[in-house]
């Protein structure tokens, strides 16, 4: 009996260790990129209440942008109107931004903020993707535009730290991070798949940045909805999208199935990218470069466990399958 108990405790410890290690790897991104030496001109105690008072107005303006942009896609893709509830989305936005601004006001770090709100954001994401994963496109865009409007209302000296806080929200809404953490809990700490993900996860932003720079250089004349590929706002969104592709790959690898790609990522891209003037040739180019980057960055790791899922992703976004269909 005692041996059984000790075995169960060991399994629980291994699962907890695997989950914790993956979460810590993701959190390191923020620590390494956050500029902690900047001196704020305006105190967070003053800025946070001001932004909270702007939150309702920002949410209204953001929804006008989101609805105007995606209304036609909602009809074209047959998304039921009752699934996209602006009041419910606005409440979720208010709750999460309120918690985030309170943490900012209390001088918490980005890592502390991640620990406090990531779970709540993941719950929001899970709720909206449960019935139709495409709905997360509306929710994520609404959160994103609300954050942009709040940043515009913030003092320039505070936009760096606030932007880092708001990126946590963006990341956890766009990317199935919590799903990756849960899948990681099923692995031993030294499992090849988990070792590979743990090695590559902290590099996700650097990998995405290099890929976006390369794609922009190869396509200097291409213009997306918001401008050229080298324009700062387009560059930020592009980097986030390449990070998102990486996380979906890791979810598939850790879950050992393609469901996340097939049911979530592909339908979401199918809805958003044509409206953003992101061509399938651009997406395929990005996926190709992603494979090259992972091959280089993980040269000392076993990538054989990853290859089937990468090949599935590449085949899924082959421009040839879209010819005559879209």
The Cα angle at residue 263 between residues 265 and 128, in degrees rounded to 5 = 80
CA dihedral 56, 141, 138, 175 (to 10 degrees): -120
C-alpha to C-alpha distances, 22 to 17, 181, 305, 309, nearest whole angstrom: 9, 6, 17, 19
DSSP 187: S
The predicted pLDDT at position 1 comes to 47
The answer on pLDDT for 66 being more than 50 is yes
The predicted pLDDT at position 87 comes to 86
The answer on pLDDT for 173 being more than 60 is yes
Whether residue 263 contacts residue 220, with contact meaning beta carbons closer than 8 Å, is answered with: no
Question: Which residues are 223's β-sheet partners?
Answer: 228
User: 10 or 233: which carries more pLDDT confidence?
Assistant: 233
Most confidently predicted of 7-16, 75-84, 207-216: 207-216
Helix ranges (DSSP H) in the chain:
2-33, 44-76, 86-105, 110-129, 135-153, 159-174, 177-184, 192-200, 204-218, 232-255, 259, 266-272, 280-297, 307-316
Q: Rounded to the nearest 10 degrees, what angle do helices 86-105 and 44-76 cross at? A: 160
| 28-45 average pLDDT score | 64
Look at 34-38, 42-46, 100-104, 268-272 and tell me which has the smallest mean pLDDT.
34-38
Give the contacts of 127 (CB within 8 A, at least 6 positions apart): none
pTM (two decimals): 0.81
Indicate if the alpha-carbon torsion angle 166, 167, 173, 178 is positive or negative.
negative
Most confidently predicted of 52-61, 113-122, 206-215: 206-215
The answer on pLDDT for 13 being more than 80 is no
| 96-119 average pLDDT score | 92
The answer on pLDDT for 8 being more than 80 is no
| 252-281 average pLDDT score | 93
The predicted pLDDT at position 293 comes to 96
| 150-171 average pLDDT score | 92
The predicted pLDDT at position 133 comes to 86
The predicted pLDDT at position 7 comes to 55
Q: Quick one: tokens of 254?
A: 């850790």
Q: Quick one: tokens of 80?
A: 């039921």
| 287-302 average pLDDT score | 94
| 234-246 average pLDDT score | 93
């Amino acid at each position: 009996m005692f041996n059984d108990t000790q075995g169960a405790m060991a399994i629980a410890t291994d699962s907890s260790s695997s989950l914790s290690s993956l979460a810590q790897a993701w959190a390191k991104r923020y620590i390494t990129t956050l500029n902690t030496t900047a001196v704020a001109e305006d105190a967070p105690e003053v800025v946070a209440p001001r932004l909270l008072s702007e939150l309702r107005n920002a949410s209204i303006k953001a929804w006008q942008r989101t609805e105007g942009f995606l209304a036609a896609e909602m009809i074209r893709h047959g998304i039921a109107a009752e699934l996209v509830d602006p009041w419910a989305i606005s409440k979720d936005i208010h709750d999460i931004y309120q918690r985030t601004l309170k943490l900012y006001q209390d001088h918490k770090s980005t890592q502390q903020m991640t620990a406090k709100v990531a779970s709540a954001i993941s719950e929001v994401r899970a709720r909206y993707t449960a019935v139709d994963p495409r709905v997360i496109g509306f929710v994520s865009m609404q959160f994103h535009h609300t954050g942009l409007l709040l940043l515009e209302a913030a003092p320039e000296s505070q936009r760096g730290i606030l932007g880092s806080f708001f990126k946590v929200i963006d990341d956890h809404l766009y990317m199935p991070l919590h799903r990756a953490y849960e899948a990681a809990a099923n692995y031993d700490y030294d499992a090849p798949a988990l070792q590979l993900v743990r090695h590559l996860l902290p590099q996700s932003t650097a990998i995405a940045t290099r890929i976006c720079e390369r794609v922009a250089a190869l396509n200097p004349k291409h213009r997306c909805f918001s401008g050229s590929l080298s324009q700062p706002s387009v560059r930020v969104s592009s980097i986030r999208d390449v990070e998102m592709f990486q996380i979906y790959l890791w979810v598939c690898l850790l879950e050992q199935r393609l469901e996340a790609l097939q049911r979530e990522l592909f339908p979401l891209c199918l809805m958003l990218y044509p409206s953003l003037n992101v061509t399938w040739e651009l997406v395929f180019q990005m996926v190709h470069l992603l494979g090259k980057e992972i091959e280089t960055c993980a040269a000392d790791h076993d990538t054989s466990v990853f290859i089937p899922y990468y090949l599935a992703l590449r085949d899924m976004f082959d421009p040839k399958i879209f010819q005559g269909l879209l």
